[in-house]
């Protein structure tokens, strides 16, 4: 085909598409024009920024869910096209990766244990949902989202390959700065974000309660370890303030997640950073205790007593404890709420189908409501028992639970290998710490069952696996603060990384 004929065919096709889109707009159908406009905008951004489509999609979703959270999760391109950001991103990035893999004759998965375990989780969940779609319809597919969101692991893993300019790292840094600020502003001015800062009645930024502090803790670890050079001068104090805010907050799951992240980092070559954070947290707690016990400051007393009761409530598994302060008064009820729900889901699953679970679409709250409070039945809309572990067992039985626990076990092994590697870059350390914050929170809340937490978790996990794979050289090697003494002694980076003193 000659170049002239090809050009004429392209122009003719473009004119036909333009006429068709104009007709759709004239009759009031905005779905396809919106989709084409979004595609054109995306192609323009890909061209200008020089990033691949999958990398751009992952960056947009990470920033959107970290900063916009529940508001961003409900944004649709058009009322006539009821697709949410996670599903749009899954189709675009997943399709892009499949096409690239086909052209390169490669598989979109790697031959390692974590890839195999996540693939098994996807396969088991997909087989289970096939039997649930007919009796439960769309509800089964909605519950099945807790499984198919794991596909973002493979998307994040692919997107982080050859990211020499550090596009994803910069996106995460900007999101880590903006997320805590957005969470505080939403809490301070909820009316503005619910009624003014909206798109077609949907708030662009609004946080699911338990995720606000969970993402703040994750942002703190990203700010501790992703910045380079002079950017650490402002990033580290901000990260410390975020950790103080999380541990002093009223969400216990995010507090446990933050402590878990610090515990992992305490075993790595970044342990000096952890010591500094621990010293600051201890000093803040000591100052709060002194102000509460030695002065008449009502705020300090309320904050200190509330913190003590929240910590004590962590061991109150049945919710029978007595709490006297406003900040911790509901913790006992929350413990009992979870204990009753978890017990009833486990009992129903063991009784009816212990091997393969009750299925997607099954109402896991029915037995719980009868025992906990039948009067809540009309207004109760939650579908997850506030734990990804219990959800996996209830939906997929022992087979699904085993596949999830295998994923968690392999994540633990990979984390251990990374933190004990003296040559690992600082960026993977921050990513793995953030991953554990979200994973721990998912054991006590609705996190991985929805896109707000699941897309972020699985994408970060894929990125972390790529950036910390064996034999990978950091894109921009740079000595971190805990290498400073060796640098002053005149050692090279290779000598520093080989030095056993980094782990002391």
Strands (E), 365-462: none
Residue 291 domain-assigned? yes
- Model confidence pLDDT, tens digit, residues 66-75: 999 999 998 8
Q: What residues in the chain have per-residue pLDDT under 50?
A: 329, 473-504
Beta bridge partners of 202: 199
Phi, psi (5° rounding) for residue 187?
-70, -35
pLDDT value of position 458 = 97
**Count of Cβ atoms closer than 10 Å to residue 55 Cβ:** 26
Tokens of 23: 């007709």
Three-point CA angle 389, 392, 393, nearest 5°: 90
Tokens of 296: 């008449």
Residue 415 domain-assigned? no
Residue 454 domain-assigned? no
pTM (2 d.p.): 0.84
Residues 6+ apart with CB under 8 A from 83: 76, 77, 91
Residue 282 domain-assigned? yes
Tokens of 496: 């520093």
Residue 112 domain-assigned? no
Three-point CA angle 218, 421, 108, nearest 5°: 70
End-to-end CA distance of the chain: 68
pLDDT value of position 501 = 35
Residue 233 domain-assigned? no
Domain of residue 288 covers 271-329
Residue 420 domain-assigned? no
Contact 93, 57 (CB under 8 A): yes
Contact 481, 496 (CB under 8 A): no
- Model confidence pLDDT, tens digit, residues 158-205: 999 887 668 999 999 999 999 999 999 998 898 999 888 888 788 999
Residue 503 domain-assigned? no
- How many structural domains are present in the chain? 1
Burial class, 286, CB count within 10 angstroms (exposed 0-12 / middle 13-18 / buried 19+): exposed
């Amino acid at each position: 085909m000659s170049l002239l004929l090809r050009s004429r065919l392209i122009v003719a096709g473009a004119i036909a598409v333009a006429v068709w889109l104009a007709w759709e707009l004239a009759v009031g159908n905005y779905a396809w024009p919106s989709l084409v406009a979004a595609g054109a905008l995306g192609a323009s951004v890909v061209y200008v920024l020089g990033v691949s489509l999958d990398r751009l999609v992952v960056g947009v979703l990470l920033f959107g869910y970290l900063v916009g959270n529940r508001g961003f999760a409900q944004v649709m391109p058009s009322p006539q096209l009821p697709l949410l950001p996670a599903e749009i991103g899954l189709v675009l990035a997943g399709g892009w990766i499949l096409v690239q893999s086909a052209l390169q004759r490669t598989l979109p998965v790697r031959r390692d244990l974590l890839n195999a375990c996540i693939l098994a989780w996807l396969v088991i969940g997909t087989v289970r949902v096939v039997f649930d779609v007919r009796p439960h319809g769309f509800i089964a597919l909605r519950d099945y989202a807790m499984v198919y969101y794991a596909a973002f692991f493979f998307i994040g893993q692919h997107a982080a390959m050859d990211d020499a300019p550090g596009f994803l790292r910069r996106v995460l840094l900007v999101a880590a700065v903006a997320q805590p600020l957005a969470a505080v502003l939403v809490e301070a001015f909820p009316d503005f974000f619910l009624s003014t800062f909206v798109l077609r009645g949907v708030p662009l930024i609004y946080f699911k309660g338990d995720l606000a502090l969970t993402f703040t803790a994750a942002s703190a670890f990203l700010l501790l370890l992703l910045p380079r050079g002079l950017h650490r001068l402002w990033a580290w104090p901000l990260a410390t303030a975020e950790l103080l805010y999380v541990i002093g907050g009223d969400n216990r799951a995010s507090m446990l997640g933050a402590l878990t992240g610090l515990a992992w980092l305490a075993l790595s070559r970044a342990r000096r950073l952890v010591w500094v954070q621990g010293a600051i947290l201890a000093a803040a707690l000591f100052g709060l205790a002194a102000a509460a016990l030695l002065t008449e400051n009502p705020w300090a007393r309320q904050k200190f007593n509330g913190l003590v009761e929240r910590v004590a409530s962590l061991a109150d598994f049945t919710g029978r404890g007595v709490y006297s302060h406003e900040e911790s008064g509901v913790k006992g009820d929350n413990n009992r709420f979870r204990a009753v729900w978890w017990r009833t889901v486990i009992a129903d699953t063991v009784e009816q189908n212990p091997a393969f679970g009750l299925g997607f679409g099954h109402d896991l709250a029915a037995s719980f409501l009868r025992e906990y409070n039948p009067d809540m039945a009309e207004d109760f809309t939650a579908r997850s028992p506030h734990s990804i572990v219990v959800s996996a067992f209830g939906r997929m039985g022992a087979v699904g639970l085993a596949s999830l626990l295998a994923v968690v076990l392999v994540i633990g092994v990979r984390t251990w290998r990374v933190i004990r590697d003296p040559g690992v870059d600082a960026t993977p350390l921050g990513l793995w710490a953030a991953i554990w914050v979200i994973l721990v929170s998912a054991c006590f809340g609705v996190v991985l069952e929805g896109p707000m937490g699941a897309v972020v978790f699985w994408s970060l996990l894929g990125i972390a696996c790529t950036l910390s794979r064996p034999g990978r050289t950091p894109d921009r090697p740079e000595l971190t603060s805990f290498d400073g003494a060796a640098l002053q002694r005149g050692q090279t980076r290779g000598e520093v990384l080989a030095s056993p003193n980094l782990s002391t």
